Structure formats: C-alpha cells, structure tokens
Amino acid sequence: MKNNTFILKARKSLKYIILSVVAALWFIPVYALVVDGLKTTIGVLTTPVLIPSTFTFSAMETVGSALFGPILNSIAYVLPVAIISTFFGAMAAYYFYKVTSFINTTIFTIISIATFIPYQIALVPLIKLTVSIGIYDSTYGLIFAFLIFYLPTGALLMSIFLAVLPKTTLESARVDGAGDFTIFRRIVIPLSFPGMISTFIFILIETWNNFFIPLVLISSANKRTAIVALESYTGGYGTLYNDSFAAAFLSSIVPLIIFIILGRYFIRGLVAFGTGSKG
C-alpha cells in the first residue's frame, strides 16, 4: 500500500517536472527578448544571448524613437479593422444564425474556406486591385485589404460564439414585437459580449502581427507598420543584438500586453477558430 502511494506521488511530480522543464524551454525566447533588449553595448559584446548582463534602457530608447512612427501606424490600421470586423462580423453572424438557407450555408462555407487558405496567394490580384482603385500605398488601401481578409474571420468567429445562444430567448424577443435591429442591439450583443471580445482581440493580434500584407501594399517608409519596420533590424554579423531584441520587443509590445491582460479571450478565440465550437 505504501509503495503504491509513493509511486502515485512520484508519477504526479514527474508530470509536473516534465511540464515545468518543457515550459521553461518554451519560455526561453521571451526571456531572451526581455533580457537582451536591455543589455548595454558592452554586455552585447561580452556575453552570449542567454546570459543576462547589466541593465540599460538605451537600446530601447534608440529603437523606440525609430519605431515610434510605425507603432502609431500599426495602431491606426489595426484598430478600425478589428472594430469593423467584429461588429459587422457579428451582424453577419446574427443573420446566419437567424436564417438557415442554402445560400447562407454556402456563403458560410465559402467564408470558412477563405479564412483558412493562405492569404498570400491573393498577392498579385490584391496589388492589381489596390493600384487600380488608387489606394495602393495608402492607409485606406491597407485597411481595405485587411478587411477583405479579416472580416470573414470576424463573421466566422462570431457565428461560432452566437451558436450557443439559446434560440428561445431570441424567439421570445420576436414574440415581444422586437425587430431585428432591436434584438441585435439589446439581446445579441449583451449576451455574446465575451465572444465579441475574443473575436476583437483575435483579429487585433492577427492584423498587428501580419507581415506580408503591409509588406506588399505599403511602399512609403513613413506609412510602414511596426512589424514591417522590424525587418530592418535583422542584421548580420557585427550588428549589436540588443537593438534587434529591443526592436522585436517594442514592435510586439501591443500584442504582448493584450495577451498578458486578456489572454484567456485570445485563447478562446484560438479554440473557436480551430475547432469551430466554443470548445
């Protein structure tokens, strides 16, 4: 009997040990991100990446002033996209939820497929389109392009979150005489609010981190996003890596902060995105 409990306890702690070790490994890049972004020049030249050294904010400051513009640009592009995609996506999702028809199912299928196909394949047509409309290399052009790709994602995610709303509650509102807009405003939005937050955050992070679309659609340096600006910090030998890490850190700071504070919403969004259900 005693042997058994010992084995059970050993197994349990073994699981914890394995998990903690693997988790520590997973954590290394972020650790490096913070530690190395704060290194002094001497620290960079004398210590390897994984070993910490004296703290200084100088790298962060230098890089920060260079990235300040791009970070503001990112905010300006990404916020409207996330808001519009979530809100209009919710409206589309409500419509799908309410009306079950062949057309709706088809559109929904097309949207799901479009969300998962690599968006890069639309490269050439996308450029042609934005050039022909005259919005290439402009704020509107980038927002427009983002919406093309992320509005369907918003509709898809909100459909998943709406699916768990009890149908009788919405029917009750119809019996009470409420029209669609009233139902959407007074019942759907309040009841699906956590889902809206998940969708909003998911799209916010995905668009902020998107490298390809801004790379391709923005050519002027002053309109670049933070992530695209980051590319110039990859550098080869001889580059001081504290700049690179500081750049990586600062350009990721918005998604990272959101993840730390509202991480569970992002995770719910991920689960919904993959499994097609609330998990």
Q: How far is the CB of 55 from other proteins (least distance, A)?
A: 18
- Report how far apart, in Å, the C-alpha atoms of 224 and of each of 110, 159, 235 are: 31, 33, 19
**Subset of residues 195 to 254 that bind other proteins, contact rule: CB under 8 A:** 205, 208-212, 227-228, 230-231, 233-234, 241, 244-245, 247-249, 251-252
Q: Give the whole-angstrom CA distance, residue 152 versus residue 88.
A: 10
Q: How far is the CB of 190 from other proteins (least distance, A)?
A: 5
Structure tokens belonging to residue 111: 């949207």
Contact between 19 and other proteins (CB under 8 A)? yes
The correct pick among 134, 174, 219, 221 for binding other proteins (CB under 8 A) is 174
Nearest to 126 by CA among 110, 154, 146: 146
Query: Phi and psi (nearest 5°) for 197?
Result: -65, -45
- In degrees, to the nearest 5, what angle opens at C-alpha 43 toward C-alphas 38 and 45? 125
Instruction: State which residue, 65 or 179, has the beta carbon closest to other proteins.
Output: 179
The correct pick among 53, 85, 86, 159 for binding other proteins (CB under 8 A) is 159
Contact between 36 and other proteins (CB under 8 A)? yes
**Subset of residues 51 to 80 that bind other proteins, contact rule: CB under 8 A:** 51
Which span sits near other proteins by CB under 8 A: 54-62, 75-83, 87-95, 260-268?
260-268
How many beta carbons lie within 10 A of that of residue 189, not counting itself? 15
Q: Do residues 251 and 230 make contact, with C-beta atoms less than 8 angstroms apart? A: yes
The correct pick among 75, 79, 83, 187 for binding other proteins (CB under 8 A) is 187
